[in-house]
Amino acid sequence: MKRKFLLARETSEINLARAKNDSSDILLNIYRGGPNSKSEKSYDSYRVPVSRWTTVLDALLYVKERLDSSIAIRFSCRMASCGSCGMKINGIPRLACYTKISELGTDTITCEPLPNFPLIRDLVTDFQQFFNHHKKIQPYIQNTHLDPTMERLSEFKQTPEEVDEFLQFSYCIKCGLCYSACPTVATDTKFPGPQALAQAYRYFADNRDDSAQKRLDNVDHKHGIWRCHFAGSCSMVCPKGVDPALGIQMLRGHLLSITKKPKKKRAELREINREGS
Amino acid sequence: MEALKNKKDSNAWTNREGLRGWLNPTRYGWERLSYWLMRLTGLFLLLYFVGHVYETSNLVGGINAWNAMLELTQTTFGHIFLILVIGASTFHSVNGIRLIFAETATGLGKPGRPDYPYEAGSLNNIQRSGIWVALILAAAAMLYGSSVLFGGE
Amino acid sequence: MKEGTIMKIHYITGLAALLTVAIHIMMRVVVPFSVSLEYENVVANYQNILYALLLESVLILISIHGFNGLRVMLLELRQSDKWEKFVTLFTLIAMIAVIAYGTRTIIIVSGQSL
């Protein structure tokens, strides 16, 4: 559904032309400016040749290499693994390396910096606030039953079913697309954002962690989990299928005491940790 | 990064979408539209509610005050406004029930192992159909309201 | 009050308001609509103790649900200690004022003789 929503019709004339000739030109508009720029937004436009598999990042790097080396872009892995190249492409936050020109269905592409992040310059934004929100939810396993002397080391036992409870949320690459798409983040500076809240659930659901109540108390405040209204935009834009909206609603279910951790699992965790110590 | 420390206009510097982020419902699918409509109908209904409490207080003034109020409100514009209220309240209630379920992860599926094309399991037609039902019921309620208000006795 | 408790109240008042408002609206359509709005019929409704209690519960439930919703929207709009205190106070006072004004109407009308 998400791909159908984001993809324009592949049978458009532009794509047919590309498929036949394997190359055509697009107009790439790139936002230029920094925090001290005048209030008017300014874009520089470039004609870029593209072929069937050209990504937006390829087009941006073509411009940087051959037309205007002053453009500020952040990128790294080029394969949707590092999350560095997030930007607003034709109005929607996407990864530039993961977005093909052909899937946008138009030959005018507009690249802007990710919204809701402080602007450094052009397409580069500051992620410090985003990382601060992530740190606040304590993104690490906390287990008070561990033997502090470490004399009797033992692995945590997890069944595949227990791993599946949290695995998809651990695939987050911290690209910030969800934070950009969220309507609450658009106005609420204290809201942690979908990424941090989904990670709060990731650690809550992990049976190696025993700080469940502390994690729930951490998000139960007036700018916490309750300011999520399930607008679903975070899950719509997530490139890794993390589905942060699902994690947040599951955490909320636990807060409302509608969903509970099975007693059997809690007893098993206590048993496992007793064996280890 | 001196520029980062010299924050002038906070919204421009932080590049937050602000109210524009709330107001545009078209970019992200049905759930975002539902969020937008819940806010719109909620505010509208709150305003109507305050007006309605004031309007009904005319009963205290006796039959003349009440009839004067009815003359103001039982007009074509008043009926159209009431039909909008009917639609808004129907949508807000039905979608609200859907949200009570969805916000406890009922009907959103279970976590699993994501694979290409990495579609979100929570944005499924089961919970989305609640939005469609809410819209259809709101339209039906507005039609029924029109038949009562404009259709005669 | 913890935010979680406030939100539980928000959900419960929403559901309860749905039931009470549905009954309130049905009372307007069991007889022809314009007849149901005649002064004598409206006052007769108010003088039925059960209906008066229903109206009071609609008033309280919708006030709580609506003004809490407004509080949530205003808290998201701006974040400073001053603003948050103002929003909490404003919505609380507005809620109490509307409930008080509506209750006054219900008490006076239900005590009136036709």
A249: nearest Cα among B41, C18, B121: B121
pLDDT for A1 beyond 70: no
- Comparing alpha-carbon positions, the chain B residue that sits nearest to C97 is B50
Q: pTM (2 decimals)? A: 0.87
User: What is residue B23's predicted lDDT score, i.e. its pLDDT?
Assistant: 77
Domains in chain B, ordered, with CATH?
Answer: 30-105+123-153 (1.20.1300)
Are A231 and B31 in contact by the 8 Å Cβ rule? The answer is: yes
Q: Which chains touch A (3 or more CB pairs under 8 A)?
A: B, C
Q: How many domains does chain C have?
A: 1
Average pLDDT, chain B: 86
For residue B40, the distance in angstroms to the closest alpha carbon of chain C comes to 11
Chain A residues with CB under 8 Å of B118 CB are 2, 238-241
Choose the weakest-confidence range: A10-24, A255-269, B112-126. Answer: A10-24
Query: C76 and A221 in contact by Cβ < 8 A?
Result: no
Chain A residues with CB under 8 Å of C78 CB are 187
Query: B111 and A167 in contact by Cβ < 8 A?
Result: yes
- Residue with the bigger pLDDT between A166 and A41: it is A166
Q: Where are the domains of chain A?
A: 2-125, 128-276
ipTM, 2 dp: 0.91
Reported as a single tens digit per residue, the pLDDT across A46-75 is: 999 999 899 999 999 999 999 999 999 999
> Rg of chain C over CA atoms, in angstroms?
17
Let me know how long chain A is. 277
Query: C3 and A224 in contact by Cβ < 8 A?
Result: yes
- Name the pairing type of β-strands A119-121 and A92-95: unpaired
Query: C42 and B74 in contact by Cβ < 8 A?
Result: no
Are A223 and C79 in contact by the 8 Å Cβ rule? The answer is: yes
Reported as a single tens digit per residue, the pLDDT across B24-74 is: 788 899 999 999 999 999 999 999 999 999 999 998 888 999 999 988 888
For residue A223, the distance in angstroms to the closest alpha carbon of chain C comes to 8
**CA torsion angle for A142, A248, A123, A128 (degrees, to 10)?**
-30
Chain A residues with CB under 8 Å of B6 CB are 35-36
Query: A183 and B21 in contact by Cβ < 8 A?
Result: yes
Which CATH number characterizes residue C99's domain? 1.20.1300
Query: B96 and C32 in contact by Cβ < 8 A?
Result: no
Give pLDDT < 70 ranges for chain C. 113-114
Query: C75 and A189 in contact by Cβ < 8 A?
Result: no
Question: How many whole angstroms from its chain centre is CA C89?
Answer: 18
State whether residue B126 sits within 8 Å of chain C by CB.
Answer: no
Are B38 and B99 in contact by the 8 Å Cβ rule? The answer is: yes
What letter does residue A63 receive in the DSSP assignment? Answer: I
User: What is residue A271's predicted lDDT score, i.e. its pLDDT?
Assistant: 60
Chain A residues with CB under 8 Å of C77 CB are 187-188
Pick one of 1.10.1060.10, 3.80.30.20, 3.40.718.10, 1.10.1240.10 as the CATH number of A128-276: 1.10.1060.10
Reported as a single tens digit per residue, the pLDDT across A207-253 is: 999 899 999 999 999 899 999 999 999 999 999 999 999 999 999 99
State whether residue A34 sits within 8 Å of chain B by CB.
Answer: yes
For residue C11, the distance in angstroms to the closest alpha carbon of chain A comes to 11
State whether residue C107 sits within 8 Å of chain B by CB.
Answer: no
User: What is residue B19's predicted lDDT score, i.e. its pLDDT?
Assistant: 78
State whether residue C12 sits within 8 Å of chain A by CB.
Answer: no
Q: Which two tokens stand for residue A214?
A: 């502390």
User: What is residue A33's predicted lDDT score, i.e. its pLDDT?
Assistant: 87
Query: B53 and C59 in contact by Cβ < 8 A?
Result: yes
Residue C33 burial (10 A CB sphere; 0-12, 13-18, 19+) = middle
State whether residue B111 sits within 8 Å of chain A by CB.
Answer: yes
**Contacts for B68 with CB less than 8 Å, ≥ 6 apart:** B58
Reported as a single tens digit per residue, the pLDDT across A161-195 is: 999 999 999 999 999 999 999 999 999 999 999 99
A108, β-bridge pairs: A27
User: What is residue B111's predicted lDDT score, i.e. its pLDDT?
Assistant: 92
User: What is residue B7's predicted lDDT score, i.e. its pLDDT?
Assistant: 41
State whether residue C40 sits within 8 Å of chain A by CB.
Answer: no
Q: Which two tokens stand for residue B14?
A: 């932080």
- Comparing alpha-carbon positions, the chain B residue that sits nearest to C64 is B46
- Name the pairing type of β-strands A86-89 and A92-95: antiparallel
pLDDT for A5 beyond 50: no
Class of domain A2-125: alpha beta
A95, β-bridge pairs: A86
Reported as a single tens digit per residue, the pLDDT across B80-103 is: 999 999 999 999 999 999 999 999
User: What's the half-sphere exposure (Cβ side, CA atoms, 13 Å) at A178?
Assistant: 35
pLDDT for A10 beyond 70: no
Domain that holds residue C104: 3-111
Reported as a single tens digit per residue, the pLDDT across A103-150 is: 999 999 999 999 999 999 999 999 999 999 999 999 999 988 777 777
Share of chain B above pLDDT 90, in %: 59
